[in-house]
Amino acid sequence: METTETTIGLDKTSWASSRSKAPVFVLGCPRSGTTLLYHMLLSAGNFVVYRAESQVFNLLEPRFGDLRVDRNKAALLEAWEHSSLFTKTGLDAVEIKKEVMANCGNGGDFLRIVMDAMGRKQGMERWADCTPDHLLAMQRIKETIPDALVIHIIRDGRDVALSLERQHWIRTLPWDRGKELQAAALYWEWVINKGRENGKALGADYKEIHYEDLVQSPQEVLAGIGDFIGQELDYAKIQRVGIGSVSRPNSSFGKEAGSGEFRPVARWKTSLSGQQLEDVEELIGGTLESLGYGVGAEHAKTVASASPARMRAIYDAYFSSKLMLKTKTPLGRWFSSHELDLSLGGEDSTHSGDGLEGPVRILQIGNYPPPMCGWAMQLKLVAEELRRRGHICEVLKINEGRQIKSPEYVDVQGGADFLKKIWSYALRGYRLNVHVNGMSKKGYLLALATALTGRAVNLPAQVTFHGGLSQDYFPRNDRSLAQVAFHALFQLAGEIACDSEPIQDAIVQYGINPEKVRSIATFSPQYLEFSHVNLGEQIESFLQNHSRVFLSYVSFRPEYRLEILREGMRRYREQDPKAGYIWLGFPGKEMAAAEEFVRGWSEEERASLLLLGNLMHDQFLTLLSRCFVYLRTPACDGVAASVLESLALGVPVVASENGRRPAGVVTYSDTSAADMVQKLQFVREHYEEVKAALEFDTSDDNVGRMADWLAGNGLGEASETRVAVRQAK
C-alpha cells in the first residue's frame, strides 16, 4: 500500500542522530491501531513506559486555556493530579508541580516536562504519545514541540467503521437514526483527510503507515519506522518483551480474539452484509481507493448519487464545526471540562488492549458507596471493570451522601443539579445508564428524566432494572398509572438489563421488544473478594455472648417488615433463649428512627439485638461468615446479592418466599412470623444437612457481562468467563 513520507538529503547516520531522541507521536483515527504501534515502540526499549494517553492537546490545553497564566496551570495540575493520567506517571506531585509552575507556558511544555521527568526516573532517553485525537492537533504539537515526529497509522475505513459502530462511538444526526455505520465511515474519512492535510505541512517529520501492513509484514514496516525515528526496532525483542497489545489482543470482537481466530484485517468481508457494504462504499469508496484499499462493490466505480454526496457534505460540516467550536472558541472549555478520565483504574485503563482505541464514555447513575448495598456494590464493581478495560466511566451518585464531593463519583446537590449534569454528560457523548426499581417514585422520576435526555440527544439511555416480581409499582397489567409510567420508561430506554429471565419476561409483557431486554444476574465472584477484618469490640462481644446469631440486612421501610421480624425473633427466643440478632444496613437518615423503634422494647428483648448502621464490604462479609443464619425479610427484592453471598460462604439462608429464591434457601411466608419461626427451628435442628445442601456456582463473571452490555459488546463470551474468588485471610 502507498504511504506518504518526505525525505531530505542527509546521510543516514546524520539523519538518525538528529532524530534518535526526538519525541514520537503515534496518531490515527480511533480504532486504527495506534496503541498496537505505541506498545511496539515501548517494547523496543529506550522509550518512557507510560500506559495511558496524555490527552494534553485534545483535553487539557483546551480545558485550562493559556498556560502562561499561573492560575490556569494550578487548575490543570489540580485536575491532573487527581486523575489516572498522573497516577500512571509514578512521579512526585510536589516536584512536578514546581517544574510546571516555573517552566510551563503551553501544552507542549507540560507534556515535555512530564515525559522528561518520567524518562529521568526510568532511565529512558525519549518518549512517545498515542492520543488518537492529537491527529487533529498536529499544527499545535509542532508549534510547541518543534522536534516532534508524527507517525500516522491508517486502517481500512470499513473495519474502522465496524469497530466504531460496535463501540457506539458516533452519534448520528437525528434524521439519520439507524445509520451509525455510515456515520462512522464518514467520521473515519473526515479524520483521515484532516490528518493527511495537516501532515503535509510537517514535511520530513511526518510518516504514514498502514495498519494492515504492520500486522502482516511487521519486520518490514518497523524497519521503515526505525529509519524515520532514528532508532532500530528489533521485532524479536518487541515480541519477547510484549508490552500490552503486542502480546494480548483483546479487541471489541472479544470472542474472536479469545478463540485464537483473531483476524483484524479485512474483517468487513465477513461482517458486513451486501447492503451495508454498498452503503459504506458509496460514501467513502473514493477515499478507500486513493489509499490503496480495493472496493468490494461494483457500484463504487460508478458515479455517486446525490444522497450519499449530501450526507457526506452534511457530516463533514458537522464534524468540522464541532472541531472549530472546541479549538477556536471559548466553548472549547465547556466541551472539554469533564472529558478527563478521573478514574484510578488499572494499568491499562485508558487502552482497550487491542491496539484499537476508542473507549466508550458511560455515565452510570445510581447508588454508590458509602453506604454499601447490593446496588452500590454492583455499580462500583462494574465501573472499575469498565475503567480497567479502558473505557471512560463516571458515576453520578444519587443515594445518601450524594451532596458530598469526592473524586470517586460526581456529586448531586439537588434536582436542578441532577438535570444539569445528565444533560452536560449527554451532550458530550456519554451513554447514560440509570439504575431503577419498582419501589420508589423518586427513583422512577430520575430514571424517566434520564431516558428523556437520552432520546433528546439521540443516545438512548440504558436502564438497569432491579428487584423482583412483588414490587409496589411493578409488574402491573391493570392500565394503572404505574403500568403506563413503566411502559413509557421501558419504551424510552435504548436497552434494558434485569437480573433474571422472569423479570425479563415481565418487562416484555409491557409490549417491549424482547431483543431490547437482557437478563444479566447481579451476583458475580468479585463480590466474594474480601479480607477478613477485625469487627470491633461491640460486635465481637455480641458474637461471643450469643450461641447462635442471626443476621439481617434491613432498612427502616415497610417492605422490610420489621414488626414481623421482631415478632419472629421474640417467638424463636422462647425456644432458643441464647440466640442473638443483628440488624444492619440502616443508612444514616434512618438510624434515628430505627433506634426509636427499638427503644420501647423490653430490656430482655433489646439485649438480644445489636443494631448497626452500614458496614463496609469487608466488614459485612466477615460478619456474615461468622453468623449462624442469614435471615432475609423483603419479598420484593428478587434474588438479592446478600443471599447469594451467604450461600457462597456456606451460611444457611432463611428468606421470605418470592418465587425467585435460589436452591438451598429455606423460605417462609413473608407476612407470617409463625412460619418464619418454624423455618428457623427447622434449620437449627437440621443445620448440618442444610449446610451440606448449599451448592452455588460462583464462577460466572456477571460484572464482566454487565460491562460488556454497557460498552456495546456481545454477552456470549463474558458469560463463559470463570473468575477465581480470592479471600484474604
561-603 confidence digits (pLDDT tens): 999 999 999 999 999 999 999 999 887 888 889 899 999 899 9
The pLDDT value recorded for residue 252 is 44
Residues in the chain, overall count? 729
pLDDT band at 699 (very low <50, low <70, confident <90, very high): low
- Assign 446 to helix, strand or coil: helix
The pLDDT value recorded for residue 714 is 53
The amino acid present at 155, given as its one-letter code, is R
Of residues 479 and 209, the one with the higher pLDDT is 209
Percent of the chain beyond pLDDT 90?
53
Domain end residue (candidates: 277, 307, 328): 328
Of residues 433 and 346, the one with the higher pLDDT is 433
**Is 571 in the same domain as 513?**
no
Of residues 304 and 327, the one with the higher pLDDT is 327
**pLDDT of 6 over the 80 cut:** no
Of all helices (H) and strands (E), which one includes residue 443? helix 441-456
The pLDDT value recorded for residue 617 is 84
* Span 311-330, average pLDDT: 82
- Assign 474 to helix, strand or coil: coil
**Is 461 in the same domain as 438?**
yes
Q: What are phi and psi of 553, to 5 degrees?
A: -100, 115
Please check whether residue 318 lies inside any domain of the structure: yes
User: Would you give the DSSP letter of residue 406?
Assistant: B
The pLDDT value recorded for residue 357 is 38
**pLDDT of 160 over the 80 cut:** yes
Q: What are phi and psi of 129, to 5 degrees?
A: -140, 145
Cβ(132)–Cβ(28) below 8 Å: yes
Over the stretch 593-631, which tens digit does the pLDDT of each residue have?
989 999 989 999 999 999 998 888 889 999 999 999 999
**Is 222 in the same domain as 371?**
no
Domain end residue (candidates: 303, 328, 353): 328
Q: If you average pLDDT over every residue of the chain, what do you get? A: 85
Please check whether residue 53 lies inside any domain of the structure: no
The end-to-end CA distance of the chain, in Å, is 58
Strand order in the sheet with 653-656: 609-611, 579-584, 548-553, 629-632, 653-656, 666-668
Over the stretch 370-425, which tens digit does the pLDDT of each residue have?
877 778 889 999 998 888 777 889 999 999 889 998 888 999 999 999 999 999 99
Q: How far is CA 11 from CA 15, 24, 203, 204, in A?
A: 6, 21, 17, 14
Over the stretch 66-118, which tens digit does the pLDDT of each residue have?
999 999 999 899 888 877 788 788 889 899 999 999 999 999 999 999 999 99
Dihedral in degrees, nearest 10, Cα atoms 450, 453, 454, 455: 130
**Is 130 in the same domain as 228?**
yes
The three cell numbers of residue 352 are: 482497550
The pLDDT value recorded for residue 358 is 47
Cβ(198)–Cβ(138) below 8 Å: yes
* Beta strands 530-531 and 128-129, pairing class: unpaired
Closest to 369 measured CA to CA, from 385, 383, 358: 383
* Span 329-348, average pLDDT: 47
Dihedral in degrees, nearest 10, Cα atoms 670, 672, 676, 678: -140
pLDDT band at 58 (very low <50, low <70, confident <90, very high): confident
Cβ(443)–Cβ(437) below 8 Å: yes
Please check whether residue 347 lies inside any domain of the structure: no
**Is 276 in the same domain as 180?**
yes
* Span 500-515, average pLDDT: 93
Domain end residue (candidates: 285, 306, 328): 328
* Span 663-669, average pLDDT: 93
pTM over 0.75: no
**pLDDT of 481 over the 90 cut:** yes
For the ranges 134-138, 557-561, 720-724, the lowest mean pLDDT is seen at 720-724
The three cell numbers of residue 537 are: 469490640
For residues 449 and 554, what is the distance between their CA atoms, to the nearest angstrom?
29
The pLDDT value recorded for residue 350 is 37
User: Would you give the DSSP letter of residue 652?
Assistant: -
Over the stretch 191-208, which tens digit does the pLDDT of each residue have?
999 999 999 999 999 999
Please check whether residue 6 lies inside any domain of the structure: no
**pLDDT of 253 over the 70 cut:** no
Please check whether residue 725 lies inside any domain of the structure: no
Cβ(587)–Cβ(617) below 8 Å: no
The pLDDT value recorded for residue 258 is 43
The residues facing 207 across adjacent strands are: 5, 151
* Beta strands 495-498 and 517-519, pairing class: parallel
**Which residues, 6 or more positions from 254, have their beta carbon under 8 angstroms from its beta carbon?**
708, 713, 714, 717, 718
Cβ(535)–Cβ(623) below 8 Å: yes
**Is 134 in the same domain as 156?**
yes
The pLDDT value recorded for residue 627 is 96
Report the number of distinct structural domains present in the chain.
3
CATH at residue 375: 3.40.50.2000
* Span 268-278, average pLDDT: 86
Please check whether residue 93 lies inside any domain of the structure: no
The pLDDT value recorded for residue 301 is 45
Q: Which residue segment(s) compose the domain that 566 sits in?
A: 528-692
**Is 514 in the same domain as 579?**
no
**Which residues, 6 or more positions from 728, have their beta carbon under 8 angstroms from its beta carbon?**
530, 531, 532
**Is 686 in the same domain as 552?**
yes
**pLDDT of 333 over the 80 cut:** no
pLDDT band at 658 (very low <50, low <70, confident <90, very high): confident
CATH at residue 140: 3.40.50.300
The pLDDT value recorded for residue 676 is 97
**Is 157 in the same domain as 290?**
yes
**Is 405 in the same domain as 472?**
yes
For residues 268 and 185, what is the distance between their CA atoms, to the nearest angstrom?
12
* Span 20-34, average pLDDT: 92
The pLDDT value recorded for residue 355 is 33
State the DSSP string of 281-334.
HHHHHHHHHHTTPPPSSGGGGSPPPHHHHHHHHHHHHHHHHHHHHHHHSTHHHH
pLDDT band at 724 (very low <50, low <70, confident <90, very high): very low
Q: Cell 431483543: give the residue.
A: 515
For residues 445 and 191, what is the distance between their CA atoms, to the nearest angstrom?
40
The three cell numbers of residue 462 are: 440504558
Please check whether residue 188 lies inside any domain of the structure: yes
Please check whether residue 140 lies inside any domain of the structure: yes
The pLDDT value recorded for residue 248 is 62
Furthest-apart CA atoms within the chain: distance in Å: 98
The three cell numbers of residue 185 are: 465511515
**Is 371 in the same domain as 413?**
yes
For the ranges 140-154, 496-510, 634-648, the lowest mean pLDDT is seen at 634-648
**pLDDT of 286 over the 80 cut:** yes
**Is 512 in the same domain as 542?**
no
* Span 503-508, average pLDDT: 94
For residues 355 and 189, what is the distance between their CA atoms, to the nearest angstrom?
20
For residues 91 and 79, what is the distance between their CA atoms, to the nearest angstrom?
15
Cβ(30)–Cβ(232) below 8 Å: no
